[in-house]
């Protein structure tokens, strides 16, 4: 799978992505916001993840590398998870290598992913979330039209910090994203 935006390509993970994956996730300032990412993050962790990602059933979960077009470097990752065609819903998340944050890449990648969910997968609602204190993630989601919907108390064991963390749940309806798109094209 390959989805393109102005500066980015979202594509399936490849064996050659190991070093970029380790570079991006072997940083506590990134991994502490992700439930399933240990810290330190090793080459073996990256290889295991890529093998796992390549074997996902794309009808249920799509794992994508975020690649900067200008130099073909993986700068992050995203997923579309819990795809439910009957209800028209999915979830998922995003992360970016700290070196590439604050350049609009997160918003560009996430909006491209959202557009794919609504236009290609035919979904009507996307649910995401963030851990309390991850203001960058919340700000990006709200900017894209998401609404805060609630808190799942001690939802995840964060492997990087070995602590149970709350998940602040956000939701986005297709019509809300269309409204955002009309204002931001």
Q: Is 104 helix (H, G, I), strand (E, B) or coil?
A: coil
| Neighbouring-strand partners of residue 4 | 9
Measure CA 75 to chain center.
12
CA proximity to 24, closest of 6, 9, 5, 43: 43
The overall longest dimension of the chain from CA atoms, in Å, is 44
Separation CA 150–CA 130 (nearest Å)? 11
pTM comes to 0.94
pLDDT number for residue 69 = 97
pLDDT number for residue 154 = 97
Which CATH number is associated with domain 2-184?
3.40.630.30
Provide the residue ranges of all domains of the chain, joining segments of one domain with +. 2-184
**Is the CB of residue 79 less than 8 Å from the CB of residue 63?**
yes
pLDDT number for residue 31 = 97
pLDDT tens digits, the chain, 185 residues: what are they?
Answer: 899 999 999 999 999 999 999 999 999 999 999 999 999 999 999 999 999 999 988 888 999 999 999 999 999 999 999 999 999 999 999 999 999 999 999 999 999 999 999 999 999 999 999 999 999 999 999 999 999 999 999 999 999 999 999 999 999 999 999 888 888 76
pLDDT number for residue 76 = 98
pLDDT number for residue 62 = 95
Residues with Cβ within 8 Å of 156's Cβ and at least 6 positions away in sequence, in order, are 35, 131, 164, 165, 167
pLDDT number for residue 150 = 97
Q: Is 118 helix (H, G, I), strand (E, B) or coil?
A: helix
């Amino acid at each position: 799978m390959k989805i393109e935006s102005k500066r980015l390509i979202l594509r399936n993970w490849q064996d050659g992505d190991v070093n970029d994956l380790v570079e991006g996730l072997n940083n506590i300032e990134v991994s502490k916001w992700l439930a399933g990412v240990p810290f330190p993050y090793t080459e073996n962790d990256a290889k295991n993840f890529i093998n796992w990602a390549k074997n996902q059933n794309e009808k249920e979960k799509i794992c994508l590398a975020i690649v900067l077009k200008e130099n073909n470097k993986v700068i992050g990752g995203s997923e579309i998870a819990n795809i439910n065609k009957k209800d028209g819903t999915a979830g998922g998340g995003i992360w970016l290598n700290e070196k590439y944050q604050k350049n609009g890449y997160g918003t560009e990648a996430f909006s491209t992913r959202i557009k794919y969910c609504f236009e290609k997968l035919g979904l009507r609602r996307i649910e995401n979330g963030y851990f309390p204190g991850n203001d960058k993630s919340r700000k990006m989601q709200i900017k894209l039209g998401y609404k805060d919907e609630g808190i799942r108390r001690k939802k995840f064991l964060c492997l990087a910090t070995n602590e149970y963390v709350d998940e602040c749940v956000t939701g986005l309806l297709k019509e809300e994203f269309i409204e955002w798109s009309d204002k931001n094209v």
